[in-house]
Amino acid sequence: MSRVPTSLIAALTLAAGFFVAQVTDVRALGGLVLVAGVAWCVWRARAAGVLRLATVVVVGAVCFVAAHVLAPHLGAWPSVLLVAAVLGAVTWALVDRRPRA
């Protein structure tokens, strides 16, 4: 599992949380998936430093809200996929990207 980028897990966490909430019709269960995904990503990427991890968590929260704001205009799934891509890109840039030597 160490080869799986944290950015991929972060992006999939948003989509999986929405999927679980939609399929089960229990929003709290989708929220549980989100919390578990965030916890895993933070644990996995702890070497990136507190500031970078806090930034990724805040961006994730903003993306979560943005998906709700965009959903009436783009549709639910397109909104979720868009913000998941944004979160994945930010996570890659702050956590997964190798520093240039």
The pLDDT tens digits of the residues spanning 26-35 come to: 999 999 999 9
Q: What is the pTM of this model?
A: 0.91
Using alpha carbons only, what angle is made at residue 4 by residues 29 and 97, rounded to the nearest 5 degrees?
A: 110
Residues 97, 93: Cα–Cα separation, whole Å: 5
The pLDDT tens digits of the residues spanning 60-94 come to: 999 999 999 999 999 999 999 999 999 999 999 99
Query: For the chain, how big is the Rg over CA atoms in Å?
Result: 14
Using alpha carbons only, what angle is made at residue 89 by residues 86 and 95, rounded to the nearest 5 degrees?
A: 130
Residues 52, 91: Cα–Cα separation, whole Å: 9
Instruction: Please state, as a whole number, how many other Cβ atoms lie within 10 Å of the Cβ of residue 85.
Output: 14
